[in-house]
Amino acid sequence: MAKELIRLRDCTMVFDDDVVLNKINLSIKDNEFLTLLGPSGCGKTTTLRIIGGFVKPTSGDVFFNGVRINDVPPHKRTVNTVFQKYALFPHLDVYENIAFGLRINRHEGRRLSKDEIHSRVMEMLEIVSLKGFEHRDVTSLSGGQQQRVAIARALVNRPKVLLLDEPLGALDLRLRKDMQIELKRIQEATGITFVYVTHDQEEALSMSDTVVVMDGGVIQQIGTPEDIYNEPVNAFVADFIGESNIVDGIMIEDGVVEIFGKKFACLDAGFAPNEPVDVVIRPEDVDIVDIKDGMLTGTVTNVTFKGVHYDVIVDFKGFKWLIQTTDYCPVNSRIGIKIDPDGIHVMHKSQYSGMFGDYSSYSAEYEEISDAELEPEETVSEDKLYEA
């Protein structure tokens, strides 16, 4: 098991009476790719800056290899940072950009020789797949190539930790996807701990060993990408990570949850009998079947072709669900749905309950058809839904 490299203990950050971080506790392991994920203003970049030493927490402690480093300045921490703006030196070529830190810094109390610098720079060029580019003008490089130079410059000093603050934000979609693969490959090749900040769920899921979901200056959940996606702890996490239908339910007993007055088998347990809960059903976990075979029946209000599947909006008792399917369903058609037990995830009620999961106003392309031939099903009140 990898050893702990960094620990944040009860870290709070206050700016002008505004609590940006509220008692954050986080452990980061050696050789780990950890992503801080959340919307703008959630505190993820502030957390990164505390690790880097750019700001000191208002209260709480930061430990590196068990040693408290609150008062250690950034240049004395074995940490380097790559920002969204790469800040490359335009008057230096690729080689000299990467070599810059080696020339000005002492390493183990001495200056590196010319041969040592050359060896390290060439090693980094090989790792970031820029061998042969050493004498190129950095202004002639593509965005993705410039980013690789910035990463090589940060890694050539052999830090223990590399901090990356939304480094893919300036790239187009195709380059971002390519660089996601490259960043994970580079991290595995170097064995350096990466702490990555993003609001992009796809980046977090595709690259990370561990994902930390944040909102309102608080860590909502920590886990593997699979855990975060399949076992969200509350409606915020379920909605922020992928698409989710989130409905009110009642946990009748272990393995049985009631939705829209009907009982469904599930795999969840440990709730109080008849406890009100939030139920998460991912769009890809819903199977469309004939009405006679359906656990629930609804009316299709919108269909959008997405290439590999259709996004289908279905009205169930006034609540709009998103279903992703390869089967085409015409607008206004009546359908049945089937959900297997492992497609249902039950969560305790939280401060986020009722805020997410209804696709009535998902986007302009999913506006409800006003002249539907069939009337929507009667809306079920919350009190009636919770009747046993």
Helix 143-155 to helix 94-104 angle, to the nearest 10 degrees?
20
Picking from 138, 161, 136, 159, the residue whose alpha carbon sits closest to that of residue 150 is 138
The answer, yes or no, to whether residue 375 has pLDDT greater than 60, is no
Residue 110: how many CB atoms within 10 A of its CB? 8
Distances (CA, A) of 373 to 298, 331, 334, 370: 13, 10, 11, 9
What dihedral do alpha carbons 250, 252, 256, 261 form, nearest 10°? -50
The better pLDDT of the pair 340, 144 is held by 340
pLDDT digits (tens, 9 = 90+) for 189-229: 899 999 999 999 999 999 999 999 999 999 999 999 999 99
The confidence score (pLDDT) of residue 371 equals 35
The answer, yes or no, to whether residue 137 has pLDDT greater than 60, is yes
The confidence score (pLDDT) of residue 106 equals 64
The confidence score (pLDDT) of residue 172 equals 79
Picking from 182, 183, 186, 215, the residue whose alpha carbon sits closest to that of residue 196 is 183
Report the share of the chain in percent with pLDDT over 70: 91
The answer, yes or no, to whether residue 2 has pLDDT greater than 90, is no
pLDDT digits (tens, 9 = 90+) for 80-90: 998 877 889 99
The confidence score (pLDDT) of residue 11 equals 98
Picking from 186, 192, 47, 206, the residue whose alpha carbon sits closest to that of residue 124 is 186
Picking from 245, 244, 268, the residue whose alpha carbon sits closest to that of residue 255 is 268
The answer, yes or no, to whether residue 171 has pLDDT greater than 80, is no
Cα-based angle 205, 64, 12 (whole degrees, multiple of 5): 75
pLDDT digits (tens, 9 = 90+) for 35-50: 999 999 999 999 999 9
The better pLDDT of the pair 170, 353 is held by 353
Tell me the CATH class for 243-385. mainly beta
For the segment 164-175, the average pLDDT, to the nearest whole number, is 82
**Distance from C-alpha of 316 to C-alpha of 299, rounded to nearest angstrom:** 7
The confidence score (pLDDT) of residue 365 equals 41
Range from 188-202, 227-241, 292-306, 372-386 carrying the lowest mean pLDDT: 372-386
Q: Which CATH number is correct for 4-229, 3.40.50.10420, 3.10.20.30, 3.30.465.10, 3.40.50.300?
A: 3.40.50.300
The confidence score (pLDDT) of residue 353 equals 94
Picking from 314, 362, 374, the residue whose alpha carbon sits closest to that of residue 338 is 314
What is the bridge-based pairing of β-strands 210-215 and 218-223?
antiparallel
**CATH 2.40.50.140 residue ranges for the chain:** 243-385
Q: Round the average pLDDT of the chain to a whole number and report it.
A: 89
Query: Can you name the residues that pair with 18 across neighbouring β-strands?
Result: 15
**Distance from C-alpha of 147 to C-alpha of 152, rounded to nearest angstrom:** 9
Picking from 249, 245, 279, 274, the residue whose alpha carbon sits closest to that of residue 261 is 249
Q: What is the amino acid identity at position 98?
A: I
Neighbouring residues of 78: CB distance < 8 A, sequence distance ≥ 6: 64, 159, 160, 161
Range from 301-315, 343-357, 360-374 carrying the lowest mean pLDDT: 360-374
The answer, yes or no, to whether residue 107 has pLDDT greater than 80, is no
The answer, yes or no, to whether residue 333 has pLDDT greater than 50, is yes
pLDDT band at 386 (very low <50, low <70, confident <90, very high): very low
The confidence score (pLDDT) of residue 381 equals 40
For the segment 103-111, the average pLDDT, to the nearest whole number, is 71
The confidence score (pLDDT) of residue 175 equals 79
Residue 278: how many CB atoms within 10 A of its CB? 24
**CATH 3.40.50.300 residue ranges for the chain:** 4-229
The confidence score (pLDDT) of residue 362 equals 53
pLDDT digits (tens, 9 = 90+) for 140-158: 998 889 988 998 999 998 8
Query: Can you name the residues that pair with 162 across neighbouring β-strands?
Result: 80, 194
Distances (CA, A) of 324 to 84, 130, 281, 321: 34, 40, 11, 10
Report the share of the chain in percent with pLDDT over 90: 73
**Distance from C-alpha of 138 to C-alpha of 110, rounded to nearest angstrom:** 29
For the segment 345-369, the average pLDDT, to the nearest whole number, is 74
With left for phi above 0 and alpha for psi between -120 and 50, is residue 230 left, alpha or beta? alpha
